[in-house]
Amino acid sequence: MNIYDVAREATVSIGTVSRVLNGGYVKQATRERVLTAIHKLDYVPNSGARSLGLGRTGVLGIMVPFFTRPFFIEVLRGVEMAAAKAGHEIVLYNVETDQQRDNYFKRLPMRKRVDGLLIVSLRPDDQEATRIREAGLPVVLVDAYHPFFTSIVVENTGGARMAVEHLISLGHRRIGFVNGMVEGAFHFNQADDRLNGYREALMAAGIDFDPTLIYVSEWNRAGGMKGGDALLRRDDPPTAIFAASDLQALGVLEAMRQHERNVPHDVSIIGFDNIELAELLNLTTIAQPMCEMGTIGVEQLLHGKDEPPRTIQVEAKLVQRQTTQRLFTGVT
């Protein structure tokens, strides 16, 4: 069932069929004959052949680590919405190992299977970035940064500072920090920025920076649990804990439960991201517009083609819920 069959059925040439399909000038009567033939034969253009001729595929690639984590799902949601609206399909490149990451960075951009590539939370090194740029494939980074590409990032430093300032404003001075770690060789750099925010807030309040109050864990619940546990085993446990992601904050909450500390009475907890679960569990957190970041990313991919790369910073917002409260000093 190809374009020749339709042409024969409608007794026209394939050129005419193509024009009917792609909106060229065709006499009304001819158009109708072709349309009837198409309908009768149940003809649908072969998209592979189409992209070969056209030089584009109508497909956007999205490269994302651990896509089942809530943060990435939210970004994906935004991506899907924007792509669907623009009539593009999306193919998912999930990254769980260094090997996958390297493989994708090396091959994906030159295969021309996609019209654009959205990379989430993964940072190409300079050599990879150079190769990608030379391949000419539009690339946009979300939650990651590289000078060669348009990047959408939340104000990581500012957001972290906001979180810690919130805790300080509640009277806390011994504030633990469960930060995220580099998983594999993925080159996340959010962790550094958030650490800077943490330090800035302390410094501004005249609180000494104590590196032993920092625990670096994986960006998931198990990691958060380990962090919360470690911080509570100290002789002088912190009265508040800032976790670099909501998932880690959930782990911290679990650790608190195991240590039989009441949140927020004994310990205040604040997370980062504002995933759906945070609302469900009443977790105070720093919200970043995850879905929107995905949407913006796709729009940049589609419409920001030839503009020079730029960094789009989106706002973080404090969402106060019920896991943080004024430090109980024992005084009335």
Partner DNA sequence: TTGTACGCGTTATCAA
Partner DNA sequence: TTGATAACGCGTACAA
Tokens encoding 78: 């935004």
> Which of the listed partners (DNA, a second copy, none) does 23 bind, with a CB threshold of 5 to 8 Å by partner kind?
none
C-beta atoms surrounding 281 within 10 Å = 16
Residue 51 in contact with a second copy, rule: CB under 8 A: yes
By CB under 8 A, tell whether 317 contacts a second copy: no
Q: Two tokens at 27?
A: 């006499």
Q: Does 222 bind a second copy (CB under 8 A)?
A: no
Q: Of DNA, a second copy, none, which one does residue 26 interact with (CB within 5 to 8 Å by kind)? A: DNA
From the list a second copy, DNA, none, partner contacted by residue 211 (C-beta under 5 to 8 A by kind): none
* Contact pick of 90, 117, 270, 296 for a second copy (by CB under 8 A): 90
Residues that bind DNA (CB under 7 A): 2-4, 11-16, 18-19, 21-22, 24-27, 29-31, 43-46, 49-50, 52-55
107 lies in the binding site for a second copy (CB under 8 A): yes
Among 152, 250, 269, 316, binds a second copy (CB under 8 A): 250
Query: Is the CB of 137 or the CB of 244 nearer to a second copy?
Result: 137
Task: Pick the closer one to DNA by CB: 32 or 126.
Answer: 32
CB of 229 to a second copy, least distance (A): 17
Closest approach, Cβ 7 to DNA, in A, equals 7
Name which position in 45, 171, 184, 309 contacts a second copy (CB under 8 A): 45
Residue 41 beta carbon to DNA: minimum distance, rounded to whole angstroms: 11
Residue 191 CA, distance from chain mean position:
15
Instruction: List the one residue from 23, 25, 29, 42 that touches a second copy (CB under 8 A).
Output: 42
Q: Does 77 bind a second copy (CB under 8 A)?
A: yes
Q: Which of 17, 37, 38, 76 binds a second copy (CB under 8 A)?
A: 76
3-state helix/strand/coil string of the chain:
CCHHHHHHHCCCCHHHHHHHHHCCCCCHHHHHHHHHHHHHHCCCCCHHHHHHHHCCCCEEEEEEECCCCHHHHHHHHHHHHHHHHCCCEEEEEEECCHHHHHHHHHHHHHHCCCCEEEEECCCCCHHHHHHHHHHCCCEEEECCCCCCCEEEEECHHHHHHHHHHHHHHCCCCCEEEEEECCCCCCCCCHHHHHHHHHHHHHHHCCCCCCHHHEEEECCCHHHHHHHHHHHHCCCCCCCEEEECCHHHHHHHHHHHHHCCCCCCCCCEEEEEECCHHHHHCCCCEEECCHHHHHHHHHHHHHHCCCCCCCEEEECCEEECCCCCCCCCCCCC
73 is an interface residue for a second copy by CB under 8 A? yes
Which residues are near a second copy by CB under 8 A? 1, 42-49, 51-52, 57, 59, 67-68, 73-74, 76-77, 80, 84, 89-94, 100, 107, 110-113, 131, 134-135, 250, 277, 280
